A and B are shown apart, each in its own frame.
Chain A
Amino acid sequence: AQSVTQLGSHVSVSEGALVLLRCNYSSSVPPYLFWYVQYPNQGLQLLLKYTSAATLVKGINGFEAEFKKSETSFHLTKPSAHMSDAAEYFCAVSDPGNTGKLIFGQGTTLQVKP
């Protein structure tokens, strides 16, 4: 069965510092991987997705993620944090049966300090 683990339920960085949110996955087949962001009391917005093309994926708002098969990881990074990046971030893996189900990690809350 597929699963996603996000290491660290809360991450705190200073404005301008590097953002690193960790995601490890388990999948028996080549996965499709996603990062979503959620602002308070809102739905989820797609940041980026990996679908077996380039291993380094660039997304919106300056975020990027690198797919590393050997480490079964898909960590999200941003070189310089902005106050507006404070939100909850979810990593997800797509069910291989083409049902479209996404299996989500538990989420990481990013706090950005001035």
Chain B
Amino acid sequence: DGGITQSPKYLFRKEGQNVTLSCEQNLNHDAMYWYRQDPGQGLRLIYYSQIVNDFQKGDIAEGYSVSREKKESFPLTVTSAQKNPTAFYLCASRRQSSNEKLFFGSGTQLSVL
């Protein structure tokens, strides 16, 4: 089945530690996105990539980093510079057109120990 796979489903971070969230898609989509979800705040865009080896900052990129070495993969690293990382993280992808829908993964819940 085609889709987006996020792993792990739950992740715990110790203070000062970097952690990486995985996002893989087999939909042959060009564009991929990372959103952060906090209760009552909707979804906020962290980073996005429209093509391999290229990515842009979203609205809340500070404390995060990404890479796009392969079309199907878009991992997100939450660095120690992100002081409030506890949130639900959603990865999404879509074909390249502004009226195309986003396909979402099932999310990763990140918590701080």
User: Which residue numbers of A lie inside 8 Å of B, CB to CB?
Assistant: 9, 32, 34, 36, 41-46, 49, 51, 90, 94-102, 104-107
Contacts and interface: CB of A to CB of B under 8 A. Distances in A.
A106 B41 contact: yes
Q: Chain A CB within 10 Å — which of B43, B56, B97 has the most?
A: B43
B101 interface: yes
B90 A99 contact: no
A36 B43 CA distance: 12
B97 A106 contact: no
A27 B107 CA distance: 29
B96 A106 contact: no
B94 A100 contact: yes
SS class of chain A's interface: helix, strand, loop or mixed? loop
Contacts of A49: 99, 101
Contacts of B50: 99-100
Contact of B102 (A9, A97, A98, A102): A102
B48 A100 contact: yes
Contact of B98 (A41, A90, A94, A106): A94
A14 B90 CA distance: 31
A38 B102 CA distance: 13
Contacts of A42: 106-107
B102 to A, nearest CB: 6
